[in-house]
Amino acid sequence: MTTRPWARHVVLCLVGALMMYPLLWLLSSSVKPGATVFTQPGLWPESWDLTNYPAGWVALEHPFSLYLANSLVIVVLSIVGNLISCSLAAYGFARLRFTGRRLFFTLMLGTMMLPGHVLLVPQYVVFAKLGWLNTYYPLLVPNFLATNAFYIFLMVQFMRALPTELDDAARIDGCGPFRTFWKIIMPLSLPAFATTAIFTFISVWNEFFGPLLYLTDSELYTVPLALRQFVDSEGQSAWGQMFAMSFVSLAPVIGFFIAGQKYLVKGIATTGLK
Amino acid sequence: MSVLQQTPVAVPAPAPRKRYRRQDRSGYLFLLPWFAGMLFTIIPFFASLYLAFTDYNLLNPPEWIGLANFREMLADERLMRSLRVTVIYTVVSVPLSLAAALGVAMVLQQGIRGLPVYRAIFYLPSLLGSSVAVVILWRYLFGVDGVINKGLAWFGITGPAWTTDPSHALTTLIILHVWTFGSPMVIFLAGLRQIPAAYYEAAAVDGAGPWRRFRSVTLPLLSPIIFFNLVQSLIASLQTFTQGFVMSGGTGGPADSTLFYNLYLYLRGFTQFDMGYASAMAWVLFVLIALLTAVNFLAARWWVFYDD
């Protein structure tokens, strides 16, 4: 299919403009006076209202910085948990030979296909019995226990591609499995670590269901839960503020995306190719 | 190779066995967090199967009621509506988004200047699609006097009240889903790169036109990846929650038109505390997804083609 390059550019630009329009509209609405959001059709504001950001920041029960800080704590700890527990499991699966490895590996792949809602009710009951409701434990502890098989699989794929001579050489030099992991395999797997970290960041930052289920005090709320309050209150003139805070909530994801695009694209492409 | 294995001279048998044992301990140590995590998976898995046959409100101990939950499900009109919403959403939006993903990937594949920029523009929305901010955004884009209706008015069309009219509310969420075609697109793009250019050249020499080359070279060689994307998208789409919740303010309205199955499960389990009923619902969806995936894998024998 050899269409002319300019024709392709025209098609891609049109589709691209359509894809970007909603986000640009959000950005533009966040700097328009609330009452004019729906009356001024153009993307370029006729009059600017930069007070939407400071006003939106304090419009909810707590200042938005608190929600951002809460989300950040959960995201950072989730990344740390996933990186430690998933890389350990991945090294075991990818580089060590032990009894039952195949069986466990199949089981791990099986959990990747298992829809989360099947486990929902009993997990909630367990967390309730442990007294963990309305704390961050239900959102964090699973990440330290390698429950996200997708990341294990991603790292296994990466570690398997490293030459086995590395392990042999390390063993001859007297390294046990832990030193081999720490000094050789882990440093070489940094791209897979980066992919896992970025994917964890984006999915945990966006996550709505877990916090909705487990957090009840508004001072523990994450950004998505806070945003939802804007919809519930639905003040006529607060549109500009709502869009401003919506944009604040998307900005870190967009930033991480721009910074880590290479790893993201590679990560998602390799999972599909097996 | 078989001859070599049959000569029992070179290596004494017990030696590798012993080394294997020694690696057992470190293997299990590395898997220790994962083993602990599996407890959080396997035990709830069976517990939820048990709870599906009980009446349980979290305060009193679960009471065994046999098949009563499942019988109630059959007569539950809201459940049937939620199943319908979920199925319509999936059947419409998954093929549309995969077609868009494949189409754009093929245009990008032809070696175009500025590929990373285009790829970034198309991929970004799929990272934001499930966030609350974007669903809020959608609510207002499709509002009665939102941008979409302003645009339609430009062409002399009076747009409907997208978000408050039960016959259009789901359409807006389908459009949102299609907007996130970027992540299957990236996978398609990587797959298209694996197809050797020589195949296309050979087909062209044999006089195959663009459509013929697409059908006879691209589709069969890409079929494992189409299959992967299809299974992934179906499973994800059947579990949609946030979009329906935020769009409707947690109700699934208007008139249950955005009441996704998982949203109804949430309402029954965690606002009415019908934990037994919610477990039964979870298992029905789980079995449906498993059946669908199995059917997919069986059907794949007919159309998925592996090169080697």
Domain boundaries, chain A: 69-206+245-270
Q: Is the pLDDT of residue B6 over 50?
A: no
CA dihedral (B173, B286, B302, B101) positive or negative:
positive
Q: What is the CATH number of domain A69-206+245-270?
A: 1.10.3720.10
The answer to whether the CB atoms of B51 and A122 lie below 8 A apart is: yes
Which of B27, B124, B136 lies closest to A242 in CB terms?
A: B136
The answer to whether the CB atoms of B146 and A38 lie below 8 A apart is: yes
**pTM metric for this prediction:** 0.90
The answer to whether the CB atoms of B26 and A88 lie below 8 A apart is: no
Which of A 130-189 lie inside 8 A of B, CB atoms? 142, 144-147, 152, 176-178, 181
Measured distance CA(B92)–CA(B177) in Å, rounded: 10
pLDDT at A76: 98
Q: What ipTM was predicted for this assembly?
A: 0.91
Q: Does A3 touch chain B if contact means CB atoms closer than 8 Å? A: yes
**DSSP string covering A17-34, please?**
HHHHHHHHHHHHHTTS-G
Chain B residue at shortest CA distance from A200:
B127
Give tens-digit pLDDT for B266-290. Answer: 999 999 999 999 999 999 999 999 9
Cβ contacts (< 8 Å) between A91 and chain B: which residues? Answer: 30
Q: Is the pLDDT of residue B20 over 80?
A: no
Cβ contacts (< 8 Å) between B189 and chain A: which residues? Answer: 269
Lowest model confidence (mean pLDDT) among A2-11, B9-18, B255-264: B9-18
SS3 string, chain B, reads: CHHHHHCCCCCCCHHHHHHHHHHHHHHHHHCHHHHHHHHHHHHHHHHHHHHCCEECCCCCCCEECCCHHHHHHHHCHHHHHHHHHHHHHHHHHHHHHHHHHHHHHHHHHCCCCCHHHHHHHHHHHHHHCCCHHHHHHHHHHCCCCCHHHHHHHHCCCCCCCCCCCCCCHHHHHHHHHHHCCHHHHHHHHHHHHCCCHHHHHHHHHCCCCHHHHHHHHHHHHHHHHHHHHHHHHHHHHHCCCHHHHHHCCCCCCCCCCCCCHHHHHHHHHHHCCCHHHHHHHHHHHHHHHHHHHHHHHHHHHHHCCCCC
pLDDT at A268: 78
Cβ contacts (< 8 Å) between A238 and chain B: which residues? Answer: none
Min CA distance, B45 vs chain A (Å)?
5
The answer to whether the CB atoms of B191 and A273 lie below 8 A apart is: yes
Per-residue pLDDT of chain A (274 residues; tens, 9 = 90+): 456 788 889 989 999 999 999 999 999 999 988 777 777 777 888 888 889 999 999 999 999 999 999 999 999 999 999 999 999 999 999 999 899 999 999 999 988 888 888 999 999 999 999 999 999 999 999 999 999 999 999 999 999 999 989 988 998 998 989 999 999 999 999 999 999 999 999 999 999 999 999 999 999 999 999 999 887 776 566 888 999 999 999 999 999 898 888 888 887 777 666 5
pLDDT at A271: 67
Residue with tokens 């945003």: A227
Structural tokens at position B114: 């500025």
The answer to whether the CB atoms of B23 and A97 lie below 8 A apart is: yes
The answer to whether the CB atoms of A268 and B186 lie below 8 A apart is: yes
The answer to whether the CB atoms of A23 and B183 lie below 8 A apart is: no
Which of A41, A98, A123 lies closest to B150 in CB terms?
A: A41
pLDDT at A113: 80
pLDDT at B24: 84
Q: Does A11 touch chain B if contact means CB atoms closer than 8 Å? A: yes
Q: Is the pLDDT of residue B63 over 90?
A: yes
Which of A 183-202 lie inside 8 A of B, CB atoms? 202
Give tens-digit pLDDT for B207-219. Answer: 988 899 999 999 9
Chain B residue at shortest CA distance from A100:
B24
CB count in 10 Å sphere of residue A268: 22
Mutation target to probe the A interface, by most A beta carbons within 10 A, among B21, B102, B127, B229 is B127
Q: Is the pLDDT of residue B305 over 80?
A: yes
- Of A112 and B120, the structure prediction assigns the larger pLDDT to B120
Closest Cα to residue A229, out of A62, A65, A70?
Answer: A62
Which of A 208-237 lie inside 8 A of B, CB atoms? 208-209, 212-213, 223-225, 227-228, 230-232
Structural tokens at position B106: 């093929």
